[in-house]
Amino acid sequence: MIYAPEGFENALKNYDPRLTLRWGETIKQWVIERHAMRMTEGEKRLLRYAATRTNPEPKAVEEWASAQAGKYVIHYVKELDQRVFDYLWARDLQRKGGAKSLYQSVLSFPEVRTRARKRESHELARQTNDVIHWALNRKSTEIQHGKGDELMREGFGMKPVTKNPGPVKPMLVDQFGRPIDPQTKKVKLELASRW
């Protein structure tokens, strides 16, 4: 049995974790396989028929061996070098629509974001225009009497803001900035002078 160089097999796994590599005894070449997500019974029957008939093709025998292990044959190679990765890359690129579609998707990504931002800003502008129109037509006297902010909050469905939260108690802090409650601790208050 011939074993693949460990570095090459690791590089293959880094490219795609579902890829495996084995030596094909009947074809006398390296067989690159990918684990199948699913394989139908019809596919298995067809591969078994092609591999078990009299005088079968060597590739059909290798494909049947891969199918029995739950894998598809991706490629046959005599030498393990960079051309294997070039082939895999070209095949993946073709499966995704070719170089032109990949190039367009990469170039159009910023355009897609820009269009989405424009749609959002146009929608916000429409909402703002509707609220201002509603406020001017229906509530113009209230705007003149200083209630414009309240009307905008009402138009946009925001909660009203309380203007007077209540009396604010002065807070004492120690030299580290921690709050001190003078009622629970005996605190000596000193007035600091500027001079």
Regarding whether 110 and 73 lie in a shared domain, the answer is: no
Report the chain (195 residues): mean pLDDT per 10 consecutive residues.
Answer: 80 88 90 86 87 88 89 90 87 74 67 78 80 72 68 70 63 70 59 54
51 domain residue, yes or no:
yes
Contact 124, 134 (CB under 8 A): no
Regarding whether 69 and 17 lie in a shared domain, the answer is: yes
Regarding whether 83 and 130 lie in a shared domain, the answer is: no
Q: Where are the beta strands (DSSP E) in the chain?
A: 19-24, 29-35, 71-77, 172-173, 179-180
Regarding whether 35 and 82 lie in a shared domain, the answer is: yes
Burial class (CB within 10 angstroms; exposed 0-12, middle 13-18, buried 19+) of 32: buried
Regarding whether 87 and 13 lie in a shared domain, the answer is: yes
Regarding whether 144 and 67 lie in a shared domain, the answer is: no
Regarding whether 126 and 65 lie in a shared domain, the answer is: no
**Which residues, in sequence order, are CB contacts of 58 under 8 Å at separation 6+?**
24, 26, 27
Regarding whether 104 and 90 lie in a shared domain, the answer is: no
* pLDDT of the residue at 136: 74
* pLDDT of the residue at 40: 84
Regarding whether 148 and 125 lie in a shared domain, the answer is: yes
**Which residues, in sequence order, are CB contacts of 60 under 8 Å at separation 6+?**
47, 50, 51
Distance CA 138, CA 171 (A): 46
pTM score, whole prediction = 0.49
Which residue range is the domain that position 68 belongs to? Answer: 6-95
pLDDT tens digits, 132-163: 777 777 666 666 666 767 777 777 676 666 66
Regarding whether 24 and 75 lie in a shared domain, the answer is: yes
Q: Nearest Cα to 174, choosing from 164, 159, 185?
A: 185
C-alpha pair distances (Å), 13 with each of 32, 35, 76, 85: 11, 12, 17, 11
176 domain residue, yes or no:
no
182 domain residue, yes or no:
no
What domain count does the chain have? Answer: 2
Regarding whether 85 and 31 lie in a shared domain, the answer is: yes
Regarding whether 69 and 44 lie in a shared domain, the answer is: yes
175 domain residue, yes or no:
no
> 179 - beta bridge partners?
173
* Listed residues 64, 95, 126: the one ending a domain: 95
167 domain residue, yes or no:
no
Distance CA 49, CA 60 (A): 9
- CA 109 from chain centre, in angstroms, equals 13
